[in-house]
Amino acid sequence: MPRIFITNKSGHPQPFEVHGWNHNLNITVPAHHTSTLSAPDKSSGAIIALHDGHEGEQAEITFNGFGGNDFIDISNIVGAGGNLTIQQEGDNSTRKGDPLFMQHLRTAWKKASQQTKAELKGSVFTDAHGDVTRIGPIKDHPKLESFVRSFADGKTYIGVGAWGGSPGNPHDNAQSGAAHGTKNSLITYSDDDATP
């Protein structure tokens, strides 16, 4: 039975929604700790970081799927507020996600025109200093999708992708490619660098 290791490199407890495992019960991973979930072979699900109660970046996993391979990706389709990566245990070549997504988002936001910022009002959330704390669902806002693609295209799953008859974006589709066989999954969360 494969396992999912969720490491929180940040200095605060990090809550996650769990879909498909752990009886669909949320977990909170303490600061600088790793939590472990068991996952039945051929199971699928998602681990979604929560930010002030809002869904953010998510790790999606299918164990032992088509061809006996795992399928893993990091998606920002429902939002973001931190950095998340996933890979198979012992195989860095399977790593998905941008370990510095939020840093790239903040840089792009600082450079964005006033028109872009006005168009994204209600989708990009900032603190009192104007620094981005999180973004809302990309799937509901085409202009937010375009903005996120300006710095993260090909690094994370951004759009709706190949689903329900849509061909999707080829860079998103590439994020959902097969890994190498079936192995434990390593998920790493951080407010800084989410490289395992």
Query: What pLDDT sits at residue 139?
Result: 85
Q: Do the beta carbons of residue 162 and residue 71 sit within 8 Å? A: no
Indicate the SS3 state at residue 63. Answer: coil
Distance CA 100, CA 104 (A): 6
Alpha helices (H) along the chain: 101-111, 114-119, 142-152, 170-175
Show the tokens assigned to 196: 């395992």
Distance CA 159, CA 173 (A): 9
Q: Do the beta carbons of residue 51 and residue 160 sit within 8 Å? A: no
Q: Do the beta carbons of residue 2 and residue 17 sit within 8 Å? A: no
Per-residue pLDDT of the chain (196 residues; tens, 9 = 90+): 899 999 999 999 999 999 999 999 999 999 999 999 999 989 999 999 999 999 999 999 999 989 999 999 999 999 999 999 999 999 999 999 999 999 999 999 999 999 999 999 999 999 999 999 999 999 889 999 999 999 999 999 998 777 778 888 888 888 878 899 899 999 999 999 999 9
Query: What pLDDT sits at residue 168?
Result: 81
Half-sphere exposure of 66 (CA within 13 A, CB side): 5
Query: What pLDDT sits at residue 177?
Result: 80
Provide the phi-psi class of 39: left if phi over 0, else alpha when psi is between -120 and 50, else beta: beta
Distance CA 73, CA 95 (A): 8
Q: Do the beta carbons of residue 37 and residue 3 sit within 8 Å? A: yes
